[in-house]
Chain A
Amino acid sequence: MFKGMVFGSMPRTKRIAKALSRYQLGKIDRKQLDQVYRRELKNLLDLVSNARLSRSSDGMYRWDDLFNPLSSYIGAEVNGLKRFYDNNFFFRQPVFSKAISYGGAVVCANLVDDLKGIGYIDKVEMVSLSLPGPLTLATNSLVVDNAYMSRESLARDYIEKVVLTEAERCSREGVKHLDIHEPELAFTIVPDELIDLYKRVSELFKGSIWITIYFGYNSENIKKIGRISRDTRIIPVVDLVSNKLLDREAIEKVGKDLESFREIALGIIDSRNTRMESVEELKRFLEELGKTLRNAENIYVTHNTNLEFLPEKIAIEKIKLIGRLATEI
């Protein structure tokens, strides 16, 4: 069965940008800024519902980039700008001079407060919580003063102190989807230890964990995740656009990698190009690929990476396109 979904960060709207500037200049207070964030969240959820998609992120409107402001909540300092993979988009690099310490599940608390604030708490089950993946965070951070001895030790500590804390709170609050953004898994083979940690999160979290991999496609990592997906609610979100895997030739290869999954999300709408895809071409592709995914109970149609790389009006058109695709197949 095909369904549509959106994940990750949406374009920061002019309304938010303006409100943030005014907030930084002291012209509006925190409460007024929160109202703007919430209005945009409401707009997004209305858009997603109208497009008949089955789930959405919160747009990550409160985030400057994948790591901020979370990194300042977990005891990291914020360094200079760094390019976010091969995009003309830059993030503030987290710097760990001491081990992570995390007071509480701030991200989940904000999400739930925002949903309550707009009277949409009944939609809590369709809205995902977004977090940076452990390997992506560890790879893109700077460690000083021997705060961590390896990238893996930082990743492990982050899962134990942050992801598990958020997952536990999400379970209590009724959040059913956790998006772990792991673009690094498009390039680096995931260590077995990390796979075990994902499993630990899934044991604690009463919902689905979406390992969201973008900017490339990594067959080996998909297979590794496949091995644990049978006993858990871990679902990969794969980017089929960046490596041009949207033709007939790709179907056999991709189909083989994905055949074991009961649920899978296929990123087939390009979030890094304004060109609108042909619905007919993609429908043909999905129908063909669907035949090879015999174990899949749910196939989610989605975009390949954050929609925030697009201008707002194109991102909206692409969300509508996902809805059309999912409902017309």
Chain B
Amino acid sequence: MLKEMNVELPVLPTTVIGSYPRPRWLVYAVKLYRAGRIGVEELREAFDDAVQAVVREQEEAGIDIPSDGEMRRDDMVEYFAERIRGFRFYGPVRVWGNNFFNKPAVVSRLVYEKPIVVEEFQYLRRVSSRRVLKVTVTGPYTIADWSYNEYYPSKEDLVFELAKIINSEIKRLEEAGALFVQVDEPALTTSPKEMEWAIDAVNEVTKGVNIKLGIHICYGNYELLANYFDRLRFSQLALEFANRGFRDIGILDRLGDKEVGLGVIDVHSRRVETPEEVAKALNKAFKYVKPEQIYVNPDCGLKLLPRKIARAKLENMVRGVEIVRKELRERGLDRIPLKR
């Protein structure tokens, strides 16, 4: 059973998955920094300013639970690997087309030396007007799956070690006052034969944590995932549905009392969804889950979209939610408690 926290949100809280397009001037500042033409302090100032800009943009769009847009992160795995001792980088590898990432290699025992994203959260809290904020951390399975393992005897050993580290990080976030942490695990369903222990490993990150924890899994095998819904110790599953034309939405009837972060915006298309389309998607989801169980978000991070389009998509997402909220209010459903 989920437990209520002492915080209320409007019904169908709107949120983001995490990343948001970097302002063009920030991209330029990062280039200057890499070329040695500005220093680390100037870069930090640019990051801070960018966070202020994109948080404000989310809030103006009407988002109830913003993130810092992951402005400081080039890549979700690289960023964590750079801050955990035991990783090494040999150079970029291609992911698709002409897109590369710095795939890390585990070369010695992994050590959690200091908090990774706690300062990000603290800055976000300073600049946002919202009470509930979303902090994203990359999950242990995805970090391991997108790394080379030169040190641990098996992938399973590596994932469990990373789970301890991510668990420590979430505890630091809780101490710092975070209310909602989302663990990003896009790779979780990649290898069906590893799912049994992978679920146990991602559950390790929740141990001893008393704040709201969500897990985000996208572009994966949801039929397979649904077999494990009851074993996942997260109060919310943020899933991508718009990209797959809301196929597989029927899996939500196996969600039990957990919440869904319903992906209603396709982040790989530049077409801006209409509010009516968003409202229709929500009504579709109501066939399987109660409105109180639904948070509303894009399918995935928005970082690859042009900034204008990302903003327009969020605005229409909120407008679509408003259409449905109006109907729910007439039925007496206005606010919901934050649950963990």
Residues of A within 8 A of B (CB): 11-12, 14, 17, 20-21, 24, 64-65, 80-81, 83, 86, 88-92, 272-275, 308-314
Contact = CB atoms under 8 A, between A and B. Distances in A.
A312 B91 contact: yes
B190 interface: yes
B315 to A, nearest CB: 25
B148 A17 contact: no
B31 to A, nearest CB: 14
B268 interface: yes
A275 B100 CA distance: 20
23 contacts: A12-B98, A12-B100, A14-B92, A17-B100, A20-B98, A64-B96, A65-B96, A81-B268, A86-B191, A88-B95, A88-B145, A88-B187, A89-B94, A90-B96, A273-B148, A273-B149, A274-B90, A275-B148, A308-B93, A308-B94, A311-B93, A313-B91, A314-B90
Contacts of A311: 90-93, 103
Given A273-B148, A313-B91, 17 more contacts: A11-B93, A11-B94, A14-B92, A17-B98, A83-B219, A88-B103, A89-B94, A89-B96, A272-B148, A274-B150, A275-B105, A275-B148, A308-B93, A310-B93, A311-B92, A311-B103, A314-B90
B7 to A, nearest CB: 36
Contacts, number: 61
Nearest to B149: A273
A21 B98 contact: yes
Contacts of A65: 96
Top 7 nearest A-B pairs (CB, nearest first) are A311-B91, A90-B96, A275-B150, A311-B90, A274-B148, A274-B105, A88-B146
A273 B144 CA distance: 12
B159 to A, nearest CB: 15
Interface string B136-169: 0000000001101110000000000000000000
A20 B191 CA distance: 33
Interface string B80-106: 000000000011111111101001010
A86 B195 CA distance: 13
Given A273-B150, A274-B90, A83 B190 contact: yes
Q: Max chain B CB contacts within 10 Å: which of A64, A88, A275?
A: A88
Contacts of A81: 96, 268
B37 to A, nearest CB: 20
A272 B149 CA distance: 9
A309 B190 contact: no
A158 to B, nearest CB: 23
Contacts of A308: 93-94
Nearest to A18: B98
A64 B103 CA distance: 19
Contacts of A275: 105, 148-150
A107 B217 CA distance: 38
B161 to A, nearest CB: 17
Contacts of B268: 80-81
A83 B96 CA distance: 9
Contacts of A91: 96
A193 B100 CA distance: 39
A12 B150 contact: no
A321 to B, nearest CB: 15
B94 A12 contact: yes
B90 A64 contact: no
A309 B93 contact: yes
Nearest to A308: B94
A88 B191 CA distance: 11
Nearest to B191: A86
Contacts of A17: 98, 100
A272 B11 CA distance: 46
Contact of A86 (B100, B148, B190): B190
A5 B105 CA distance: 26
Contacts of B103: 88, 311
A12 B95 CA distance: 11
Contacts of A310: 93
A235 to B, nearest CB: 28
